Amino acid sequence: MDAASLLTLINERHGTAFALVGRYPHGEQGAFAVADPAGERGVLKWYAGEPEMRLARLHETAAVTAHLRARVATRPRATC
């Protein structure tokens, strides 16, 4: 599945309307910039591998994001 297909699935499942803005040039797997209709931006993280490993990586990402959120002026929020 590619990022656009995944984002379509997410939007259908959660009733959201995120649009794919582009791919970030760095990172281990895939990170894509997304935006909602109001222009609020976010990041779609993509992990390959076994489902258990992907879930563990998502939880790690959420923990790092929470740590950064407490210390940085721009405050991203992770949702799994």
pLDDT at residue number 21: 93
Task: Kindly report the pTM of this predicted structure.
Answer: 0.65
Residues 6 or more apart whose CB falls under 8 angstroms from that of 55 comprise: 80
Q: What is the distance between the alpha carbons of residues 47 and 15, in angstroms, rounded to a whole number? A: 23
- Could you state, in order of their start, the residue ranges of all structural domains in the chain? 1-46, 48-80
Model confidence at 75: pLDDT above 60? no
Between CA 34 and CA 40, with CA 35 as vertex, the angle to 5 degrees is: 130
Are the beta carbons of 60 and 45 closer than 8 angstroms?
no
pLDDT tens for each residue of 20-43: 999 888 766 678 899 999 998 888
Who has greater pLDDT, 28 or 55? Answer: 55
